Amino acid sequence: ISRRLGMGSRRGSAAHFKKIWEAVMPPESYYALHINLIQHGRTICHARAPLCDSCPLQFHSDYFLGTGEWATEEAEEPSFSDRRAL
């Protein structure tokens, strides 16, 4: 999910994403974030066939904004105004 949200490369490690989340989230939120990311992955953001049309994070997702393909380094980053607020 972190990869699809554009937080790092497709090859980023779990430790890499953990450091990013810890830098932007308060410590008391770590566990809730962890559980909610797992739940989101199980119900919507499946590894092979994500249900992007049902995803509340779709306009924050590089995967969705790339029309079902991973965004490339060459792709222009959408501005915040292009992404719908949650």
Domain annotation covers residue 54: yes
Range of the domain at 41: 14-82
Number of folded domains that form the chain: 1
41 CB contacts (<8 Å, ≥6 apart)?
Answer: 1, 47
The pLDDT score that the predictor gives to residue 63 is 85
* Domain presence at residue 28: yes
Residue with tokens 């904004």: 65
Query: Does residue 22 fall inside a structural domain?
Result: yes
Decide: residue 45, CB within 10 A, 0-12 exposed, 13-18 middle, 19+ buried: buried
| CATH number for position 61 | 1.10.1670.10
> pTM for this structure?
0.68
The verdict on residue 3 lying in a domain is no
Q: Is residue 64 part of a domain?
A: yes
With a cut of 70, which residues of the chain have pLDDT below it? 67-86
